[in-house]
């Protein structure tokens, strides 16, 4: 078999027939044969690198391609993360517009990422989402792009293994599909699919559905339609070549799998006729359907951001080997704020240093500094030449837990002052101490709530009537004595802890 692209050719033949076929090709065409794909070295073809492995081949993107991409954002020495995107929904977040230079950088980087997703299924969903905002990217998309590049920084040695499963029939053509219902801001779902021939990965895709699905089952049905179309396309090509394949579609949704086995729309009367063609394909015997567990469905990798361990497990099932990450699955939210442009020199500022909740930039021309403060402080003005990184000379911005402690203390003093003025006693409360500088800024719950070790200055409000009523119902259903739970002076934190324990 010969793979030809313009004047480049990759010849795949048995070792005994290689010399004969090379001479036959050299007769009418002038050829220059270069390297042979072996187990000892990587051979480049059409920008990608190949080498032999047991029962197949390994393909990868050259490491220098990643290096050039990271150099665009000065991330070649950054610390990596273990997943390309955060597993949170931020479709309501609106960012600021980027400069023309940043928009150009964004589009160039996304284009480079799109070129490598054929061998990097772990990046397919994230790159697809980044490509949807090429027209007017904002600081939100800028932060997502930098998160993706940090992940790329730790996976430059990724390899896609192209092997087959000898235990499966040679004519078995499988497609695994999955969908993620209404995740983005437009409430459109994402379809993902993987096409396999005897376990050999042929193709994968991650696409945004054109129609808005009204249920998760409908979104899965649209994903099944997309996968079945790809399956039938390849089946028809192989049939013209004289090879009959058995098509099987695998999905983890019982609601969507029930549609091909019945006639008509059932309760889904809003569906169009084209969405029910799977019923005809099933009756004709062109496609078989099978349920698959979600944990075994590799198409789940192509529909949404996953945590590091879950993503790596599916990548292994798909034959994609990744290097371990360097950091926990988190990223600094300040990455969404790109470097500012100096108003005096009209040059992009360079990253200078960072403190807790602060990001400082310095102009390389006039040496002035500008800082961005988190926690709703925003940008500060440009400071004088050579000034140290600080917003004000007399005060540094405080972390959120410190400010929360100070605010709670002021509230407690205000209540005490009000009670002394009016002559009435304050309501009984359980005082809870919020540790300043802790990694978790929430008030401690459960066994950590201890009135004896509380700071007497800080106070926490009592439980709401809704919490008390809900707790009373839980106590009755669980057979718990209400008197031991609904004690006088029950705070919101204690009520939340009891709810978590009894629910």
Kindly report the average pLDDT of the chain as a whole number.
Answer: 76
The whole-angstrom separation of Cα 272 and Cα 281 is 16
Q: Is pLDDT of 454 > 50?
A: no
Domain ranges of the chain: 1-33, 41-158+322-338, 165-301+310-316, 345-393, 401-502
Query: Encoding tokens for residue 150?
Result: 């940090």
What is the rounded average pLDDT of the residues 308-337?
A: 67
Percent pLDDT > 70 in the chain is: 73
Q: What is the per-residue pLDDT for 104?
A: 94
Considering the entire predicted model, what is its pTM? 0.63
Residue 102: name the closest of 61, 59, 73, 63 by CA: 73
Mean pLDDT, to the nearest integer, of 2-17?
Answer: 76
pLDDT category of residue 480 using cuts at 50, 70 and 90: confident
DSSP per residue over 468-503, as a string? HHHHHHHHHHHT--HHHHS-TT-BHHHHHHHHHHH-
Specify the pLDDT at position 273.
65
Q: Is 415 exposed, middle or buried (0-12, 13-18, 19+ CB in 10 A)?
A: middle
Residue 436 · residue 405 · CB < 8 Å: yes
| 223: confidence class by pLDDT, cuts 50, 70, 90 | very high
Sign of CA dihedral 152, 157, 158, 162: positive
- Higher-scoring residue by pLDDT: 218, 29: 218
Residue 243 has pLDDT above 70, yes or no: yes
Q: Is the pLDDT of residue 180 over 50?
A: yes
* Residue that has been written with the tokens 């002021």 in this structure: 410
Q: Which one has a higher pLDDT value, 57 or 268?
A: 57
Grade residue 336 by pLDDT with cuts at 50, 70 and 90: low
Question: What is the C-alpha to C-alpha distance for residues 274 and 251, in angstroms, rounded to an integer?
Answer: 19
Helix (H, G, I), strand (E, B) or coil at 133: coil
What separation in angstroms does the CA of 387 have from each of 92, 275, 367, 373, 397? 37, 64, 8, 17, 17
> Tens digits of per-residue pLDDT, 39-87?
888 888 888 898 988 888 899 999 999 999 999 999 988 888 888 988 7
pLDDT at position 203: 93
At residue 407, does pLDDT exceed 60? no
In whole angstroms, what is the distance from residue 308 CA to residue 499 CA?
Answer: 30
Decide which of 71 and 477 is more confident.
71
Q: How confident is the model at residue 439 (pLDDT cuts 50, 70, 90)?
A: very low
| Nearest of 281, 230, 276 to residue 256 by alpha carbon | 276
pLDDT of residue 351: 59
The per-residue pLDDT for 116 is 92
Secondary structure (DSSP) of 251-319 = ES-HHHHTSTTSSS-TT-TTS-GGGGHHHHHHHHTSEEEEE--GGG-GGGGGTS---HHHHHHHHHHHT
Nearest by Cα to 358 from 385, 334, 335: 334
What's the DSSP call for residue 375? T
Distance of alpha carbon 251 from alpha carbon 194, whole angstroms: 11
* DSSP reduced 3-state for 237: helix
- Give me the mean pLDDT over the 100-120 stretch: 94
DSSP letter, residue 52: E
pLDDT, position 501 = 75
Residue 269 vs residues 30, 77, 218, 276, 278: alpha-carbon distances, Å: 62, 55, 11, 11, 16
Please give the class, per CATH, of domain 165-301+310-316.
alpha beta
CA 78 to chain centre: 19
Query: What contacts 390, CB < 8 A, 6 or more positions away?
Result: 371, 396
Write down the pLDDT at residue 428: 36
Q: What is the pLDDT of residue 294?
A: 87
SS (H, E, C) 320-369: EECCCCCCCCCCCHHHHCCCCECCCCCCECEEEEEECCEEEEECCCCCCE
d(CA 500, CA 467): 12
pLDDT, tens only, 414-437: 444 444 434 443 333 333 333 333
| Mean pLDDT of all residues in 311-320 | 89
């Amino acid at each position: 078999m010969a793979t030809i692209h313009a004047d480049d050719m990759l010849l795949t033949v048995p070792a005994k027939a290689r010399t004969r076929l090379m001479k036959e090709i050299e007769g009418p065409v002038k050829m220059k044969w270069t390297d042979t794909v072996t187990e000892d070295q990587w051979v480049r073809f059409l920008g990608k690198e190949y080498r032999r492995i047991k029962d197949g081949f390994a393909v990868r993107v050259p490491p220098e391609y990643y290096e050039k991409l990271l150099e665009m954002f000065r991330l070649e020495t950054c610390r990596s993360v273990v997943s390309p995107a955060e597993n949170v929904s931020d479709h309501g977040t609106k960012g600021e517009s980027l400069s023309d230079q940043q928009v150009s950088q964004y589009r160039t980087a996304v284009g480079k990422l799109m070129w490598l997703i054929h061998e990097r299924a772990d990046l397919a969903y994230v790159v697809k989402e980044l490509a949807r905002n090429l027209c007017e990217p904002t600081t939100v998309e800028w932060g997502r792009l930098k998160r993706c590049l940090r992940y790329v920084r730790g996976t430059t040695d990724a390899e896609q293994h192209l092997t087959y499963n000898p235990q499966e029939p040679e004519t078995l053509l499988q497609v695994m599909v999955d969908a993620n219902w209404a995740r983005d801001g437009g409430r459109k779902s994402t379809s993902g699919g993987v096409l396999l021939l005897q376990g050999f990965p042929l193709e994968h895709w991650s696409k945004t559905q054109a129609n808005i699905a009204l249920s998760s089952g409908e979104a899965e049905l649209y994903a099944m339609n997309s996968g079945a179309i790809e399956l039938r396309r390849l089946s028809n090509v192989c049939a013209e070549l004289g090879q009959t394949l058995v098509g099987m579609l695998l999905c983890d949704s019982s609601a969507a799998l029930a549609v091909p086995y019945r006639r008509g729309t059932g309760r889904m009367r809003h569906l169009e006729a084209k969405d029910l063609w799977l019923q005809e394909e099933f009756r004709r015997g062109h496609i078989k359907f099978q349920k698959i567990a979600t944990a075994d469905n590799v198409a789940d990798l192509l529909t949404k951001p996953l945590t590091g361990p879950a993503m790596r497990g599916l990548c292994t099932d798909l034959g994609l080997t990744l290097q371990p990450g360097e950091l926990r699955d988190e990223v600094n939210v300040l990455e969404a704020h790109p470097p500012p442009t100096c108003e005096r020199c009209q040059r992009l500022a360079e990253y200078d240093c960072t403190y807790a909740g602060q990001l400082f930039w310095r102009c390389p021309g006039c040496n002035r500094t500008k800082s961005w403060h988190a926690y709703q402080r925003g940008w500060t003005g440009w400071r004088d030449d050579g000034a140290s990184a600080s917003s004000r000379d007399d005060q540094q911005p405080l972390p959120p837990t410190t400010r929360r402690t100070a605010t709670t203390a002021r509230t407690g003093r205000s209540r005490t002052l009000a009670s002394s003025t009016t002559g009435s006693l304050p309501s009984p409360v359980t005082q809870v101490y919020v540790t300043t500088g802790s990694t978790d800024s929430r008030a401690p719950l459960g066994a950590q709530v201890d009135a004896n070790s509380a700071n007497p200055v800080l106070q926490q409000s009592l439980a709401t009537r809704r919490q008390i009523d809900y707790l009373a119902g839980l106590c009755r259903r669980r057979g718990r004595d209400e008197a031991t739970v609904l004690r006088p002076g029950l705070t919101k934190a204690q009520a939340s802890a009891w709810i978590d324990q009894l629910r």
